Amino acid sequence: MAVFLINPSDHSFGTAVITPRWLYVLAAATPLSYGDPVIVDETLEALVPSTIQSGDFVGIGIHTGNALRGYEVGRLARERGAWVVYGGIHATLYPEEALERGHAHAVVKGDGDVIWSKVLQACMQGSPDKLYEAIKRFFANAASAAAFERPELRATFATVSTHWLRHTFGLHSIANGMALATARNFLGHKDVATTSVYSTEEIAQQYRELDVFLMESTLQDPSRALEVEIAQGRPKRSNGSHPNLDTRNLIGVDAQT
């Protein structure tokens, strides 16, 4: 029962051209109980199919350029009775293709190292899932670690989703000057009005940060209250007290929109 990690290539040059790093990352993530993985980089030397035995585990990493050879390797391995698992950018983008054309038992989307031992174990038990979403698992793990650190935000972290990456992209790209129309194209929105939510939210966030900053400045140094009011552009009350610091009233933009 051996673990094979295979970088497929139609051409074997006999010298390392671009040996990919995932081979070694996954090798390091392979539990010791499975022994040292057999690394096959077909840009160096073609796979010898007869080295694969029934019950072995064959991990194949594909990008678009070597996917077809990868599927061929998967077919060969499956015919020999091995468990066939795909990963890599192409399998992440098109997992169903690896299942249909690559004869996969399972496909890993995203970072394989965080889930590899579980996939091997499931194959060993004879019941792997078809799809392992490593990115979602990674997010879920990070969220529970964050909730442990910040119990007051537990409810928020419970709603964590990889969809947040889209929001982050939308907020940051627009905040850094990307045109709304360009961001719309990247995000695949039909209407730029949908994309504009991100620009509004970014402004709102900046206001919230400004509020906190101004509040802290006043608390730390009351003599700066006047400075704060000038920055906010609103007058002191007639009794000399300071109004609540709420920039939403000042800047004329509703932070909730």
* Options 58-66, 121-129, 172-180, 220-228: segment touching ligand B12 (CB under 6 A): 58-66
Asked if 60 is part of the footprint of ligand B12 (rule: CB under 6 A), the reply reads yes
Amino acid at 95: P
**Among 88, 95, 128, 170, which residue interacts with ligand B12 (rule: CB under 6 A)?**
88
Alpha helices (H) along the chain? 22-28, 67-79, 89-93, 95-101, 116-124, 134-149, 154-158, 163-175, 180-187, 192-220, 225-232, 247-251
**Residue 112 or 170 having the CB closest to ligand B12:** 112
**Residue 42 or 201 having the CB closest to ligand B12:** 42
Asked if 113 is part of the footprint of ligand B12 (rule: CB under 6 A), the reply reads yes
Asked if 121 is part of the footprint of ligand B12 (rule: CB under 6 A), the reply reads no
**Among 19, 121, 141, 156, which residue interacts with ligand B12 (rule: CB under 6 A)?**
19
**Among 3, 76, 84, 108, which residue interacts with ligand B12 (rule: CB under 6 A)?**
108
Return d(Cα 81, Cα 96) in angstroms, integer: 21
**Among 31, 49, 55, 65, which residue interacts with ligand B12 (rule: CB under 6 A)?**
65
Asked if 55 is part of the footprint of ligand B12 (rule: CB under 6 A), the reply reads no
**Among 20, 175, 207, 231, which residue interacts with ligand B12 (rule: CB under 6 A)?**
20
Amino acid at 46: A
Asked if 31 is part of the footprint of ligand B12 (rule: CB under 6 A), the reply reads no
User: Exposed, middle or buried by CB within 10 Å (0-12, 13-18, 19+), for 101?
Assistant: middle
Q: What number of chain residues touch ligand B12 (CB under 6 A)?
A: 24
Which residues are CB-neighbours of 166 under 8 A, at least 6 positions away? 187
Q: In the block, which residue shows the tokens 């969809």?
A: 163
* Options 104-112, 147-155, 162-170, 205-213: segment touching ligand B12 (CB under 6 A): 104-112
**Do 127 and 144 form a contact (C-beta atoms < 8 A)?**
no
* Options 14-22, 165-173, 191-199, 204-212: segment touching ligand B12 (CB under 6 A): 14-22
Sort strands 57-61 and 38-41 into parallel, antiparallel or unpaired: unpaired
Return d(Cα 63, Cα 109) in angstroms, integer: 12
Asked if 111 is part of the footprint of ligand B12 (rule: CB under 6 A), the reply reads yes
Q: In the complex, what is the shortest distance from the CB of residue 183 to ligand B12, in angstroms, rounded to a whole number?
A: 18
Residue 131, φ and ψ in degrees, nearest 5: -130, 130
Asked if 120 is part of the footprint of ligand B12 (rule: CB under 6 A), the reply reads no
Which residues are CB-neighbours of 197 under 8 A, at least 6 positions away? 170
Residues that bind ligand B12 (CB under 6 A): 18-22, 25-26, 59-61, 63-65, 85-90, 108, 111-113, 116
